[in-house]
Structure 1
Amino acid sequence: MSRPDAEVSTVALLDVIRSIAFVGDLAMGQPTDHSPRVAWIAGQLARAAGADDVACAEAMTVALLRWSGCTANAPEFARLVGDDVSGRKALLAIQSSSSGFRVGTKGGGSAFHSLSRIHCEVAGDIAKELGLSEAAQFALRHLFESHNGAGAPDGLQGEQIPSSVYTASLAGDLDIFHRLYGFEQACQLIGQRADVLYPVGLASLLIQNAARWLAELDNDPTLSGPCSLDAAFSGRTTSLEILADVIDLKLPWMTGHSRRVAQLARHAAMALELDEARQQKVYRAALIHGIGRAAVPNMVWNTPGKLMEPEWERVRLVPYWTGRAARQLGSLAGEAEIASYAYERPDGSGYYREARTGSIPIEGRILSAATAWAALRAARPWREALEESAAGALMASEAAAGRHDADVVRALLKPPRSSRSKPALTSLTSLLTQRERDVLRWISLGASNKEVARKLAISPSTVRTHVESVFRKLECTTRAAATLKATQLGLL
């Protein structure tokens, strides 16, 4: 689906899947080893139920990616509960015989179905973009279905629901409930949910083996990492840009931000005459520099004024969490380490390390300046976008004050070299009319139909018609899914 003119950074498929799982755990308020542990348990449960190698790998993959759509519905979650990260964490901890999400969002009317539809559609689209099997795509599009038919988004029941959905749900409940309430209470809660969320037989099989599996994980935590998926995905690659797009979905006004930073960083690296390997490294680091952003609730990011100290401290930890990702990302570990310098400053005023010039690698200084430049040129909840001249002047003054590397800033602001002609985008741009692209651009940034109507001087009903047409042409039903597809197609 990636647009033909875009630079594409190809990496190991399993590393991207693990990265998306890491982002999901941060966004759900879970420990960063939660999804790997759940995937391992799901694989063991599938094997115990008689699944073959392919089905076991599918069970583990679905478990790793089950939170892949959570950045997509973060804005809606924030409107419903305020703190989307703590809110999700609380919902997962609810002791009930039904889904914590269904119980916890009961007061929100159709919120459970709406949030589930956004999450599942994007999760399925991500799986498709990653080249996963149709079975895995289908499972990820039905993550919140229940055995009794009371789930979402389609109200499937019984055997209509893929077994990988059940194994992911059971393994997730076991890991969370055991951590919070102990083994006996965890088994009791799972027993209460049997025949409601998942089949009785599969729940019983999990309970029978749970003590042994949890002990194996505790005795050898590495079992929760590579497992058998290394063999299943050996030699398979995918685009790292999909991870950048998943990261940016959390905040509509961040749409395309990671890609822009990556392009700017690579331009600066070229101007500084870094070799091709280092250019590529800083480009890839820029694509993933926002991983840690998922740990901070949208209500903090959307604050229009100055942050209070507790909120600011959470923001300061964003690059820390990005750096922590390095431990789980295999071939991306070096890039994740560079990415953790995105907000450092040469004078020591940055975060989280408060590092100074001598301890910040050149790739980190490039990324820091590129991130700041891209942010200045885009609107934020606390300020309007700066014109290019004003942004450039501010960057230059910051460099003069020692808050950016002066050589890097000069390279960043240097006009790009003329590049060879790129493939025509006629087949893509003709997919949507110009007006549809205008509407899409604004809704991708979080604008309501009324706000779009006001900005484009058209009626809300006309906006609604254009939105419906965009959804039909992009084959999606939610704004988050439309944003994801349009970003990958270069339509924004």
Structure 2
Amino acid sequence: MPAGLRGDAIIPVMRVVHIADDAEVHARVGGVDAAVQMLRSRRGTEFDPGLVDLCTRDGGALLDGLDQVDAWQHVIDGCAALDRPIPEAELTEVLAVFADYADAKATWFLGHSRAVAELAAAAAREYGLPADQATMVRRAALVCRLGTIGVSTGIWNKPGPLTPSERERVRMVPYLTERILARSPHLAVLAGPASMVYERMDGSGYPRGLTGAMLPPTARILAAAQMLRALGEDRPHRPAADPDERAKILRAEATAGRLDGDAVAAVLAAAQGRRPRKRALVAGLTARELDVLALLVRGRSTREIAQALGISPRTAGSHVEHIYTKIGVHSRGSAAVFAMRHGLLPDEDQPAKIG
């Protein structure tokens, strides 16, 4: 699938990827012998015979020691021809691409990191931080959820309570974020505040249970901004809270000593001072098509889009086809990336018009 290609019609690089994808799992779970047996059993059917012979010769020596490979360094070394230094002026824009990648893990999060970054940067100014610290807050917000890619999408989409093991996976997100950023000397400066987004002033947060004295203002602001934004977004286990309820919850968190009171005040002031942002008309999309796009990338089916907008399923389907044509994509995921990068997702207080 999807085109029913076979043999040499499949490009060599993908024939390699097919083998690598399955062989790595079998070698990790059952050892080299299990991987070799699997490859030989699929030789000439699923996998390229020549590549199977290459991977299984000498008892699978090529597969031995995979757990000792520093994949990060291999990728970096192998991409030297594509390297381009990122000027300081372009770094925030690059990190926004990182944010979109992390948020695309589940439709609930689309546009979340960009919105948190905008709110946190405005709050940093309200708080009185200098310009360079406000920039750091914005950048840390853009990358604070990179670790979500290490957690199963099934967990993010689960409508009911998480099991203890699932909660532990979620609590790993800031740790994974820190490890990702720490591998790059240029990004390591963001690892600290980004990994503290779920820490709390009284030590009840995670992953390290840090207390107030250990949390810099950048981390305190980011924690409050992330909570306010998240409360305004639907999740599988709860609906979005209205602005008054969100403000009430944040103030209660400050009163209880979990969030910094000054950071909460700055975030709420920044949120109240933000004007509703109009979605730009790009790629020739009409206002109605923007409404359809907002629902489409959130995972709504054509029938659900039709019901939400008061149109027929056939009309909704036509809108979807026109949207794909206009923005030059062929899938819901690509449409989501387009929407995030062009600021076409409604603000938390300005949902897509429905009904």
Pair 1:162–1:279, CA change in 2 (3 A): farther
Per the alignment, residue 3 of structure 2 pairs with: 154
Which one scores higher on RCO, CA 8 angstroms, separation ≥ 6? Answer: 1
User: Unaligned stretches of 5+ in structure 2?
Assistant: 87-92, 346-355
- What letter matches 1:376 in structure 2? L
Give secondary structure in 1 for the equivalent of 2:186: helix
**Counterpart selection for 2:333 from 462, 468, 480:** 480
Q: TM-score, normalised by structure 2?
A: 0.83
Describe the SS at the equivalent of 1:354.
coil
Distance 1:418 1:394, change over 3 A: closer
Aligned to 1:400: 255
Write out aligned runs for 1:33-432 (5 A).
152-208=1-57, 213-214=62-63, 221-222=69-70, 225-226=73-74, 228-229=77-78, 231-237=80-86, 239-415=94-270, 428-429=281-282, 431-432=284-285
Q: Which amino acid aligns with 1:225?
A: Q
Who is 1:468 aligned against?
321
CA contact (8 A) 2:56 2:62 kept: no
| 1:199-253 CA distance string (max 9 Å, x none) | 22232223337855555766x6447624522522332557222221122122212
Is the CA contact 1:217–1:223 (under 8 Å) kept in the aligned structure 2? no
Matches of 2:153 and 2:71, distance apart in 1: 33
The answer to whether the 8 Å contact 1:217/1:224 transfers is no
Q: Please report how far the alpha carbon of residue 373 of structure 1 lies from its aligned counterpart in structure 2 after TM superposition.
A: 0.8
* 1:371 positional shift: 0.7
Q: Which amino acid aligns with 2:104?
A: L
SS at match of 1:225: helix
Residues 123, 270 of structure 2: 8 Å contact kept: no
Write the distance in 2 (CA, Å) between the matches of 1:300 and 1:418.
35
CA distance in 1, matches of 2:185, 2:21: 24
Opposite residue 195 of structure 1, the aligned amino acid is G
One-letter code aligned to 2:147 = G
Q: Deviations over 1:94-117 (max 9, x none)?
A: xxxxxxxxxxxxxxxxxxxxxxxx
Sort the Cα spacing of 1:416 and 1:345 in 2 relative to 1 into closer, same or farther, 3 A.
Answer: closer
Answer yes or no: is the 8 Å Cα contact 1:241–1:259 preserved in 2. Answer: yes
Identical aligned residues as a percent: 36
**Amino acid corresponding to residue 249 of structure 2 in structure 1:** L
Residue 418 of structure 1, CA deviation: 9.2
**RMSD value, Cα:** 3.0
Task: Give, in angstroms, the shift of residue 181 of structure 1.
Answer: 2.1
Give the distance between the partners of 1:460 and 1:373, measured in 2 at CA. Answer: 35
Residues 210, 442 of structure 1: CA spacing in aligned structure 2 closer, same or farther, 3 A cutoff?
farther
> Which 5+ residue runs of structure 1 have no aligned equivalent?
1-151
**Secondary structure, counterpart of 2:35 in structure 1:** helix
Instruction: Give the aligned residue type for 1:482.
Output: A
Question: Aligned-pair distance for 1:405?
Answer: 1.0
Aligned residue type for 1:191: R
| Closer/same/farther in 2, CA of residues 327 and 163 from structure 1, 3 Å limit | farther
Q: Normalized against structure 1, the TM-score is what?
A: 0.61
Question: Does structure 2 retain, via aligned residues, the 8 Å contact 1:248–1:257?
Answer: yes
